[in-house]
Structure 1
Amino acid sequence: MANRGFPATEPDSTMDIDLPQEEDEDRFLKFIDYARSELLQEDEDRDPNGDGPGSFGPGWSWIVSRILKTCIAYSSGVTPAILLSELSQAWSEQRRVGAPKKGVEFINKLKKNHRRKKLPNTVTIDSIYEKNFLSLNSTLEVVIIDAFVLPGTNIHMLTLGDYWSSNIIDLYLHRRFYDLAAMQSGILKRGRELFLTGCYLRTAAEGSGYPRLLPTDYLVILLDENLDSDAMLLGAQFCSDTFSSVSLDAEKLGHSYSLYARIESIGSLEIQREFGSLQGKQITLVDGDGDKLSFYLWGEQILLANLFRVGSMLALDRPYIPGSEERVSGISEKLYLEYGSATQLYLVPYIQHEEQICVSLTPNRHQSSRPLSSYDPSQGPKFSQVSLPCGPQGTIDFSNYPIRSFVVDLREKMTCVSLYGVVTDIIKEDNTTKVIFSLRIMDSSGAIGAKLHFLRSWSLGRLSLGHTVFISGLTCSMSKKERLEVSWFEEGGGSFINLSCLPALLNSSCLHKLSRLSDVSSQTRNIQISRVWLDPIEYYYVNTRFSHSLCGHFVDKTSRGRLECSFCRTICDTEAVRSFHLKITLADDSAKILAWCTGQTAMDLLQISPEEFYELPEEEQVMYPSSLENEKFMVALVNCKCASYESTNDFLPNDATSWEITRAYKCE
């Protein structure tokens, strides 16, 4: 058979057609720009000198890939908060190439003031990475390296390090501590030490190379009385209330207490109840006047006791004071404290002082110590141009290119290029034993043919004319005829995503613009999202046909009775499934249009499977449209005829109308 490939694969930047102008109104592209600006602002806030590993920000292709990956994971729809949270977390991990070293250097500066011994059950961040596990009763003694808010959300994150590890880890901060994490006045900022326990570990998921700590409300903030700011905090907030001033009546009237006392003892207790026993910890506190008061922890709260040592000073902000009807049976004290939902704990750790004794090795030799010199990293240079990695053959890697690449930008020896555009033609190449499809993609600058190389067969699901796609991992080279060739290889690690068939798109208002049918132009190439109802009385046609399960396109019978896919051009007897071919009128308050669909979309509209419909008696099939009248749907529409101005394919139904419904879901 003759080669049905494209006559040329160079960019058609001067074609005699109207290029798509509506990209200016593409909400998906606008959100990418918005997300990039948010990530750049986050980088600026966290690295104002711009000399960190992410000073140029994330690449355009990287942002699109992460957004689409999130859309695939959240098929029911996404919000800006979900997308920005996922992007920020992924970009934070991406920037970690140089972050652990910087974190370790920062903590090394603090080591000279670190004199306390490890708490029992203390684990290091390095051990978490090694084991990919963290038990609930483990203790973490950490230092805040960075505190930030995920863009577009109010989710606070802390980047933590410790004195014994070369790794760092992120913690989702529990909401009870958000008022302490205010960017300007909060106490939870860079350099602050914390004790943590009761932490759950979110292990590294697919595509995410770093574990994270989930929120825990068992967090104690360490204070240093030798620091003026901490001494002022203790004096201003915790020295006015004493144990003798604590009153149940005042508590009932809404008065809260801030108390400061020494931990005298820590003991365990067990309260027998009708339905089992209650485990607890009793921490005996002594204030500056010598008065004593008990601080009780119950149930899972006893994990907090792992963070305390006898002799340490404990500052309790807003401890809960149980009333007479709330006291735990078996406790004889009429007045005691508990860890309530609003309680926050600060600790001045007890430091066991040790006498330094100089041991002489010989009369003429002695040991000497030399203080560690402080490390002051010099500021790196700023660049006005983006540097991209080059291969040994002179190729240039565009995977981290910060802005979008257009067809007109493509040149020889460009690799890992991404394109976003509309499919205007697809052809299976027949004169080769390899599985190669030639696809023509158009953006606002022109159109180009790309050869898609598959390992065994087409594996990208349903794709048709007019669909909007994102392709990453493209390679540009010059053919023997000195024409630019663009190639994509399935095993090359790039991605190919059909946005027109993405379920999340319909439910994500931040990624599309809702259009009235009267605004849908015959020249439109973008995906159109509309809220419509079905009008089968105007026009309705349905038939069940067999389609190829791998690509979703209809199959035809050959002269020998075999089933051949109109798209893949392969015999697919064992891969054929019954499917719908539906044409129906869509309507809204502004207009009506005739559209067609197949596969899952037709099932979503008809609300019946092809097999069930096929089994219905003929008279019921004829009457079936009456049950659909005025059913309301959200639909995604693409203009398949506008895209196929030069198409040589014949896999579209012969009677296909201009508009294909690529996705639909019923509105209640």
Structure 2
Amino acid sequence: MIDGVEDASAMDLDDQQLQIQALSEHENDYTDPFIKFIDYAKSILSPTFNDEDDEREPTSDAEEREREGPGWSWIASRVLKTCISYSSGVTSAILLSELSQAWNEQKNTNAPRKRPDCINQLKKKHKRAKLPSTVTIDTIYEKNFLSLNSVLEAVVVDTFVLPGTNINMITLGDFWSSNTIDLYLHRRYYDLVSPDNGILKKGREVFLTGCYLRSANEGSGYPRLLPTEYLVVLLDEEQDDDAMLLGAQFCTDSFSSISLGGATDGVSYSLYARIESIGPLEMLEKFGGTQRKQIRLVDNESFGMNFLLWGDQVVLANLFSVGSMLAIDRPFIASALENGAETCDGVCLEYGSATQLYLVPFVTQGEQVCLALTSNRLRGSRFGTASCPTQGPKASQLTLPCDSQGSVDYSNYPFQSFIINLHEKMTGISIYGVVTDIFQDQNAAKSVFNLRIQDLTGTICVKLYFSDSWSLGRLSLGHTVYVSGLTCSLTKNKCLEARWFENDPRTSLVNLSCLPAVLNSSCLHKQSYLADMSKQNTDTHVCRVWLDQIEHCHVNTRLAHATCGHFIKTTASGCVECEFCCCSCEMKTTRAFHLKITVADESSKVFAWCTGQTASELLQISPDEFYELPEEEQVIYPCSLENERYMIAIVNCSQQETIFKERVTAENDMIPWEITRAFKL
């Protein structure tokens, strides 16, 4: 385990101030062009404030975020997405255009529009966070498309019966759209629209998914939603009618009262429990490859039970959130042993043909957090800086959402997050820094890698959890990375640790040192001279160079693991093993260069090494083609390249301490500089 940094909240204030003062002294030297462009883009996208604006009370957290403009990580992520899309390079104008369009689209989602009065009344007290897969009705009309996994967070505007039929329809609106859309109601919910005691009335909120769209060009004059079984009715415990429904129907039965025998005898249950966790999607081979999701529920007696979703039902999980209360009317009672689910009394719940679901959503609470002193000091802020994290003007704090476990979401935090400011129970964190060590966790049951990242303020260990195996391409020491969607927690040894999950759609990891667009985009880098580099500098340098001293060039071809780009070795038993992933990879190898060469510019010369696509670009030949050349031609081939000019990205890979020194030494042969990307001029 790599030691993390101490919890910033527990750090002695004087020590923290000394570190910030030291950073401030080097503020003028902090000229990372990528970071400077993000700050510039933020100043362009964020509105200009005056004193009158500062005194105006915001109407909601969403509107406050719109007034502040996009968060730092939002801009960084979209800049890198654009760079990945435009590998040949981008300009400042291209990036600002893409950012402006994306931000305007996001703002339009929350823009006030004319909508039914019943929705306007509900919107005043609407505080819950939007579900991850939610789409708006306006978007359905614009794209004339709706995927089965999409979620509609809707409000019933009207209910009616199609003339001359017994088909029930409901008209739906939402909080973000001016349009409404009609839904053919599934017959399992017809009792909910009965005139006498039906709960699906005007103003009732519902979640639904698994919808097919009948577009306007399929017969009707406007789009409609076809019936879906996957609808959840929302209840509000503060409303008398809903509280009475919950008390009368769902608070009699408990998990401890359920039995297989009772279910077999026709006993029906109505249960009320909190969603404790939502399991991953499982593919069960013993059930013919059927999909399954397990929702862990806990009732008011602290009994736990699994609610299973099978096959197409798994989309229902898109409607749930941890911390919400779920009311289940007439669930199917099944044997936990037969279904491979462990729960009390050997039973579990399933979504049956008669089951109806009601939900009391978890409402995200806001938490006041200080705007980090480091961020303010290094970036400057219209909020000003306080002399102490617990003192200063009110504007030095910001309200961020937190979940049912008390973790605060920093995905919309306005400034760059520095390692010195990280502490436990933080989510949505983004880190920009340099890799100082990386290795696989041999004790983990699944594919887990430890990544040590260093920024201006400190170092932290990031645990990378992969769903199968390493999937991020080549990554090595000295490379500059941007990691988003991190969750921070304390280890058993009380060290701070960040976690990253590959299958979480909110996470990303981008290696800027190997990103072609960064090298090709003058707005994202500053050209350096080789003489400006030093072993103490951990930045990725972009230099214009030529190949020099070709007689001392060393060209070798070796087999590399195609997945991660690192070299492989043959063990004593004859197995082919990746030195990085520490796994057998005999069928996943590719030939790669291991090139050691001198590059020069007007200021100096540097002996460096490289591999992969970078070496192929410098040698202007593929490793397979080079390998097929006769030996004498291989020897003289580099001579034809002397004085050829290139633009390169070069990093310092001689970090002081690594866990697996033998692996690192075998790759770089103790050469302190790696060329991570190159293109011919």
Normalised by the length of structure 1, the TM-score is 0.56
Instruction: Write the distance in 1 (CA, Å) between the matches of 2:670 and 2:647.
Output: 21
Map 1:601-640 to 2 at 5 A.
601-640=614-653
Give the equivalent residue in structure 2 for 1:459.
Answer: 471
Q: How far did 1:385 drift?
A: 2.8
Please say if 1:499 is aligned against 2:512.
yes
- Determine helix, strand or coil for the equivalent of 1:388: strand
The reply on whether 1:485 has 2:497 as its aligned counterpart is: yes
Task: Find the counterpart in structure 1 of residue 592 from structure 2.
Answer: 579
Structure 1 segment 77-116 matched on structure 2, within 5 A: 77-101=89-113
Aligned partner (choices 671, 675, 678) of residue 657 of structure 1: 671
- Alpha-carbon distance in structure 1 between the residues aligned to 2:586 and 2:85: 32
Q: Does the CA contact (< 8 Å) of 2:558 and 2:592 recur in 1? A: yes
The size of the alignment, in residue pairs, is 398
CA distance in 2, matches of 1:527, 1:610: 26
User: What residue number does 1:401 align with?
Assistant: 413
Kept in 1, the 8 Å contact 2:3–2:461? The answer is: no
Decide which of 27, 34, 42 is 1:28's aligned counterpart. Answer: 34
What is the alpha-carbon distance in structure 2 between the residues aligned to residue 391 and residue 634 of structure 1?
47
On the 8 A contact 1:11/1:448 being kept in 2, the answer is no
Indicate conservation of the 8 Å contact 1:441/1:447, yes or no.
yes
> 1:238-276: CA deviations, max 9, x gaps?
xxxxxxxxxxxxxxxxxxxxxxxxxxxxxxxxxxxxxxx
In structure 2, C-alpha distance between the alignment counterparts of 1:132 and 1:476, rounded to whole Å: 37
Displacement, 1:8?
A: 5.1
- Matches of 1:520 and 1:127 in 2, distance apart? 53
Deviations 1:277-313 (A, max 9, x none): xxxxxxxxxxxxxxxxxxxxxxxxxxxxxxxxxxxxx
1:292 corresponding residue in structure 2: none
Whole-angstrom distance in 1 between the partners of 2:73 and 2:675: 27
Residue 523 of structure 1 deviates from its aligned partner by 1.4
Cα distance per residue 1:100-140 (max 9 Å; x no partner): 527999xx9xxxxxxxxxxxxxxx9888526269xxxxxxx
Q: Within 5 Å, give how 1:440-459 maps onto structure 2.
A: 440-459=452-471
1:570 counterpart = 2:583: yes
Matched position secondary structure for 1:526 = coil
> Does residue 423 of structure 2 align to residue 411 of structure 1?
yes
5+ unaligned residues in a row in structure 2: which ranges?
121-136, 147-176, 181-393
Whole-angstrom distance in 1 between the partners of 2:599 and 2:406: 53
Compute the displacement of 1:562 (Å): 1.4
Q: 1:553 to 1:10 in 2, by over 3 A?
A: farther
Pairs within 5 Å for 1:213-612: 385-493=397-505, 494-537=507-550, 539-612=552-625
User: What's the CA shift for 1:450?
Assistant: 1.2
Greater percentage in helix = 2
TM-aligned CA distance change 1:464 to 1:127, over 3 Å:
closer
SS at structure 2 position matched to 1:491: coil
| Match 2:87 to one of 70, 75, 83 | 75
Cα distance, 1:646 vs structure 2: 4.3
Q: 1:72 to 1:402 in 2, by over 3 A?
A: same
Once the two structures are TM-superposed, the CA of residue 488 in structure 1 deviates from its matched residue by 1.0
SS at match of 1:492: coil
Residues 598/50 of structure 1: CA separation in 2 closer, same or farther (3 Å cut): farther
Structure 1 pair 416/127, CA: closer, same or farther in 2 (3 Å)?
A: closer
The answer to whether the Cα contact below 8 Å between 2:70 and 2:414 also exists between their aligned partners in 1 is: yes
Residues 165-186 of structure 1 deviation map (CA, whole Å, 9 limit, x = unaligned): 9269xxxxxxxxxxxxxxxxxx
User: C-alpha separation between the residues in 2 aligned to 1:629 and 1:127?
Assistant: 59
> How big is each residue's C-alpha offset from its partner over 1:446-483, in whole Å with a ceiling of 9 and x where there is no partner?
10111111111011111000000011111111223322
Between the aligned partners of 1:443 and 1:529, the Cα distance in structure 2 is 19
Deviation at 1:94, TM superposition (A): 1.4
Q: 1:164-243 alignment to 2 at 5 Å?
A: 166=178
1:666 counterpart residue number: 680
1:71-121 deviation line (CA, Å, top 9, x unaligned): 00000001010000111111111112321527999xx9xxxxxxxxxxxxx
The alpha-carbon distance between structure 1 residues 577 and 9, as it changes in their structure 2 partners (threshold 3 A), is: farther
Tell me the alpha carbon deviations over residues 515-560 of structure 1, each in whole angstroms, 9 at most, x when there is no partner.
0111112211001000000114352001000000111000011112
Determine the C-alpha separation between the residues in 1 that align with 2:35 and 2:612.
Answer: 28
Sort the Cα spacing of 1:515 and 1:129 in 2 relative to 1 into closer, same or farther, 3 A: same
Alpha carbons of 1:126 and 1:72: their partners in 2 closer, same or farther (altered >3 Å)?
closer
Q: CA deviation at 1:7?
A: 4.8
The corresponding residue for 1:226 is none
Distance 1:39 1:495 in 2: 23
The SS at the match of 1:623 is helix
Q: Distance in 1 between matches of 2:473 and 2:7?
A: 26
Partner of residue 76, structure 2? 64
* TM-score computed with the length of structure 2 as normaliser: 0.55
Deviations 1:293-349 (A, max 9, x none): xxxxxxxxxxxxxxxxxxxxxxxxxxxxxxxxxxxxxxxxxxxxxxxxxxxxxxxxx
In structure 2, the CA distance between the partners of 1:478 and 1:615, relative to structure 1 (3 Å rule), is same
Preserved contact between residue 89 and residue 519 of structure 2 (Cα < 8 Å): yes
Q: In 2 relative to 1, CA 541–484 (structure 1 residues): closer, same or farther, beyond 3 Å?
A: same
- Which residue of the partner structure matches residue 201 of structure 2? none
Aligned pair in 2 of structure 1 residues 167, 505: CA closer, same or farther (>3 Å)?
farther
The 8 Å contact of residues 34 and 525 in structure 2, kept in 1 or not, is answered as: yes
What is the distance in 1 between the residues matched to 2:37 and 2:450?
30
Distance 2:631 2:611 in 1: 20
Residues 655/59 of structure 1: CA separation in 2 closer, same or farther (3 Å cut): same
Whole-angstrom CA distance in 1 between matches of 2:48 and 2:115 = 18
Partner amino acid, structure 1, of 2:643: N
Report if aligned partners of 1:639, 1:658 keep a CA contact under 8 Å in 2: yes
% identity of equivalent residues: 55
**Structure 2 CA distance for aligned equivalents of residues 11 and 582 of structure 1:** 42
Q: Name the CA shift for 1:125/1:558 in 2 (closer, same or farther; >3 Å).
A: closer
Residues 190-219 of structure 1 show CA distances to partners (whole Å, capped at 9, x for unaligned) of xxxxxxxxxxxxxxxxxxxxxxxxxxxxxx
Query: Which has the higher relative contact order, 1 or 2, with Cα contacts under 8 A spaced 6 or more apart?
Result: 1
Q: Does 1:6 align with 2:2?
A: yes
Residues 592, 104 of structure 1: CA spacing in aligned structure 2 closer, same or farther, 3 A cutoff? farther
Instruction: Give the Cα–Cα distance (whole angstroms) in 2 for the partners of residues 81 and 451 of structure 1.
Output: 36
Pairing of 1:38-53 with structure 2 (within 5 A): 38-41=44-47, 52=63
Change over 3 Å in CA distance of 1:396–1:125 after alignment to 2? closer
**CA pair 58-404 structure 1, distance change in 2 beyond 3 A:** same
What amino acid does structure 1 have at the position aligned with 2:525? H
Partner of 1:354: none
Say which SS state the counterpart of residue 550 (structure 2) adopts.
coil
Matched residues in 2 for 1:459 and 1:41: separation? Answer: 39
Within 2, Cα distance between the matches of 1:505 and 1:599? 18
Q: Distance in 2 between matches of 1:649 and 1:454?
A: 24
AA matched with 1:511? L
Distance (whole Å) between structure 2 residues aligned to residue 21 and residue 72 of structure 1: 31
Give SS of 2:497's match.
Answer: strand
State the shift of 1:650 in Å: 3.3
Provide structure 1 residue ranges, at least 5 long, that are not aligned to the other structure. 109-123, 134-164, 169-381
The structure-2 alpha-carbon separation of the partners of 1:666 and 1:11, relative to structure 1 and needing over 3 Å to count, comes to farther
Task: Judge conservation of contact 1:466–1:644 (CA < 8 Å) in 2.
Answer: no
Aligned CA RMSD, in angstroms, stands at 3.2
Q: CA distance change for structure 1 residues 632 and 36 in 2, over 3 Å: closer, same or farther?
A: same
